[in-house]
Amino acid sequence: MPRRQLVATPLADCAAETEAEAPDAPIIELRGIRAAYGGIEALHDIDLAVAGGSILAVLGPNGAGKTTLLKVMSGALRPSRGSVLMEGHDVTGSSVDKLSRAGVCLIPEGRGVFPNLSVRENILMDTYACAQRATTAHLEEVAYARFPHLGTRHHQLAGTLSGGEQQMLALARALTTDPAVILLDELSMGLAPTIVAELFDVVRGLAADGVTTVIVEQFAGVTAFADRVAVMAHGRVITQGRPDEIGDLAAAYLGGRT
């Protein structure tokens, strides 16, 4: 399947005027990115490119900078140095709202469902982001097609679902934004291996439909589902490549040794 493209008008609106569109550019590219919280720098000179329609797994221990990386990609954190490009457009410093309307969807760690709303109400929360692109009914249908189990429980309160079901609901909500890019933070956290495998099967299906996915994980098994892997430690990407090229992944993943 062709890769899903970001929406041209919102992306152009938040892009630097001097940056020309490059049709063959990576859907996301980070160039020399540094990012800090106050005076503490969390990312140091990150260079990373994500091809459209691919799955990139970013591995590393706690404190490696993985979540900060996703915040920069989503617009939640402005880098202190470097550039963020999307499909060749310089979108450095663009807001979360503008990037989400262009087709970038972040699913944060902890799932973030609304426990006192029903499954259906949760799913409909994000449909405003793509009201111009598809009907609410169609987007709801798409979400339930990926997660038929949720369709049978659409009136149930989200807070009464299991952890795995809540993660499914978070992914289903993401699908209602008709995303071109999904950024996933710790998809597998606290879930049984069978549920994790089911969720990654959905991610792989989305990639087959052209949706680009960046997953940050401490679960090394995610490499079985990824097209490329980047390993982070101490705010740096210390190695990246195809899963079969990474070499001594375990040493880098567990201790960040170079």
DSSP 165-202: HHHHHHHHHHHTT--SEEEEE-TTTT--HHHHHHHHHH
C-alpha radius of gyration, the chain, whole number: 18
Q: Which amino acid is at 106?
A: L
Does the pTM exceed 0.85?
A: yes
Domains observed in the chain: 8-103+179-255 (3.40.50.300), 113-174 (no CATH)
Q: Are 185 and 70 in contact (CB under 8 A)?
A: yes
- Mean pLDDT across the chain, nearest whole number? 85
Please provide residue 218's backbone torsions phi and psi, each rounded to the nearest 5 degrees. -105, -5
Mean pLDDT of 232-248: 86
Is 70 exceeded by the pLDDT of residue 128? no
pLDDT of 258 higher than 50: no
| pLDDT digit string, tens, across residues 168-181 | 999 998 888 888 99
Q: How many CB atoms lie within 10 A of CB 154?
A: 15
Q: Which amino acid is at 208?
A: A
Residue type, 209: D
